[in-house]
Amino acid sequence: MLSLAEAQTDQPQDGVATTSVAALAAHDPSAWQELFERYYRRLYRFAYVRTGDASAAEEIAAESFVAAAKGISRYRETGAPFGSWLYRIARNLTADHLERRRRRPVLPLEAVEIVAGAWSGGVEDAADIAKALARLTGDQQEVIVLRFFDDCSLQEAATALGKSVGAVKVLQHRALAALRKHLTAGGRP
């Protein structure tokens, strides 16, 4: 499950130690609780930005852990962080949800937790950022959430999105350019 070097030193991979992955495979409740505490909020945010629906995001985040528990015996080390496997599950569940809904996600502005001061270029408040984020494509929203809200590495984001690291870099660049365009005086939503 982990690389040979990590297995020999029992060092954590993405915060999940060799013994923890083994405990997850053995369905140890405390290992699953620890994983849940580490990733639930991150998976929730990931799903929420795509769906714009708090209850759907809660359901997707919870279902991600159910699917992970069912599939942990099939988990194989790929060189990517363990968390990217969870994001991949959440991404698939979110895509399934959106397909069932068959409409573009709407992001309720009052529920967005964004600090406007972190952005430059005259952004007045978090509502401007939320409006601009809602205007991005689904892939662009996903890469922004993974990279900037959840602090995922390029490799982790690439694995979660099913893309190469280079493709994620391009997607991130385009997403940031689109955000910048929407946040300028002429393109403000």
For residue range 130-164, list pLDDT tens digits in order: 788 888 888 898 898 888 888 888 888 888 888 88
Give the CATH number, domain containing residue 114: 1.10.10.10
Q: Where in the sequence is the domain holding 51, given as residue range(s)?
A: 1-106
CB environment 122-145: b (16+ within 10 A), e (fewer): ebeebebbbbbbbbbeebbbbbbb
- Residues 101 and 136 occupy one common structural domain: no
CB 163 within 8 A of CB 169: no
Is the pLDDT higher at 93 or at 20?
A: 93
- Residues 112 and 178 occupy one common structural domain: yes
Among the candidates 106, 128, 149, a domain finishes at: 106
- Residues 101 and 154 occupy one common structural domain: no
- Residues 100 and 120 occupy one common structural domain: no
Distance of CA 143 to the CA centre of its chain: 8
Q: Please state, in angstroms and rounded to a whole number, the distance separating the CA atoms of residues 107 and 129.
A: 11
What is the domain count for the chain? 2
Task: Report the pLDDT value the prediction gives residue 152, as an integer from 0 to 100.
Answer: 86
CB 143 within 8 A of CB 161: yes
Q: Taking the model in full, what pTM does it have?
A: 0.58
